[in-house]
Amino acid sequence: MDSRSHKTYIKGNDTLAEFILAISISGLPKDMQYIGHFSSCSAANLYAELNYPDAVDVRCLHERFMVLPNNFKKKVIVIYDT
């Protein structure tokens, strides 16, 4: 685990958060869960490392390469050093 101290907060729709984090605890693609949107994959991967240490599969993709449902609600997660 990273020894640095980090805080996160969740806010509404943010156009700068274009990277989607999805994880699977089981490792099966059908079990992938949307976690949130981030400003970068490095931020998303750090969030996953700190909050989902048991995740078997962690993926970060740019939202333009995904097909999101029409009623999709974007959850922006911001992580920063304290």
pLDDT at 2 over 50: no
Stated pTM of the model: 0.78
pLDDT tens digits, one per residue of 27-71: 888 899 999 999 999 999 999 999 999 999 999 999 999 888 899
Q: With respect to residue 68, please indicate whether it lies within any of the assigned structural domains.
A: yes
| Structural domains of the chain, count | 1
Task: Provide the domain limits for residue 33.
Answer: 6-81
Residue 68's pLDDT is 85
Q: With respect to residue 1, please indicate whether it lies within any of the assigned structural domains.
A: no
Q: With respect to residue 13, please indicate whether it lies within any of the assigned structural domains.
A: yes
Task: Please provide the DSSP assignment of 23-47 as one string.
Answer: EESS--GGG-EEEEEES-HHHHHHH
Residue 51's pLDDT is 94
Residue 81's pLDDT band (cuts 50, 70, 90): low
